[in-house]
Chain A
């Protein structure tokens, strides 16, 4: 693999990591959760045993994502709430499609 390609992958991975961390911090702030972003893993479920979000929290996330990224999550997009990774995937898919 060329160095340029490697650097490109590394840049994108770092950007993704930064975005995941930012989304975790925003969720924690918005929902007033008593956890540090560093202990939330990227694939941890947001509902149930994960961050224990409920449906009211989900609407908070929808509003937050719309305000921050101008991306609309609708009733049919429940896969976006699978995990932090799923949410950021969803945001990036919509941004790419825009």
Chain B
């Protein structure tokens, strides 16, 4: 796997470590569960900066039952949801890894304090979807490669460039704004 970071990012001189998360790790990071957990694996994750992920699309996905009964295509909004979940992984990784002065438990590199709050509670909401273009149908058997690069932040909002591809073909790309943190 190429060590290059997502979306043609320049190599950072401080060379932050890139992390990988398996499905079970992701379940500890995100509040989503079946049938709405739409990312199987994350890799090349630079906490709070960028990452890549995989969503394998099976014919058993519940949405194919109705979208459409005789023509199985993954709804575009669910591709966006998969992208947004990768963004949440990149964001939560910043908290769990305690990098970049992220909010979270104080202390030097101290992983997994037992009393640490559930990091999945810091996953916020989708604020906007803009310039999203869907370039290819996504059908059973496809493996979506997701990419996200977090951009500017203002208050609790963060802009993110996202894309999803199948093999070498672009499936969708655009810009999201996500909120950090949940309303209680």
Could you list which residues of chain A lie within 8 angstroms of chain B, going by C-beta atoms?
Answer: 55-56, 58-59, 62-63, 66, 72-75
Contacts and interface: CB of A to CB of B under 8 A. Distances in A.
Interface string B139-168: 000000000000111110101000000000
Contact of A56 (B152, B153, B177): B177
Main secondary structure of the interface of B (DSSP, over half): strand
20 contacts: A55-B154, A55-B155, A55-B157, A56-B128, A56-B177, A58-B155, A58-B157, A59-B127, A59-B153, A59-B154, A59-B159, A59-B177, A62-B154, A63-B151, A63-B159, A66-B152, A72-B152, A73-B154, A75-B154, A75-B155
B152 A62 contact: yes
Contacts of B155: 55, 58, 75
Given A55-B157, A56-B157, A56-B177, A63 B152 contact: yes
The 6 closest A-B pairs by CB, nearest first: A59-B157, A59-B154, A62-B154, A56-B127, A56-B128, A63-B152
A58 B154 contact: yes
A55 B155 CA distance: 9
B90 to A, nearest CB: 18
Given A56-B157, A59-B127, 5 more contacts: A55-B155, A58-B155, A59-B154, A63-B152, A63-B159
A18 B159 CA distance: 29
B101 to A, nearest CB: 14
Contacts of A58: 154-155, 157
B94 to A, nearest CB: 17
A9 B166 CA distance: 58
Contacts of A73: 154
Nearest to A73: B154
Nearest to B156: A55
A56 B152 CA distance: 12
Nearest to B157: A59
Contacts of A75: 154-155
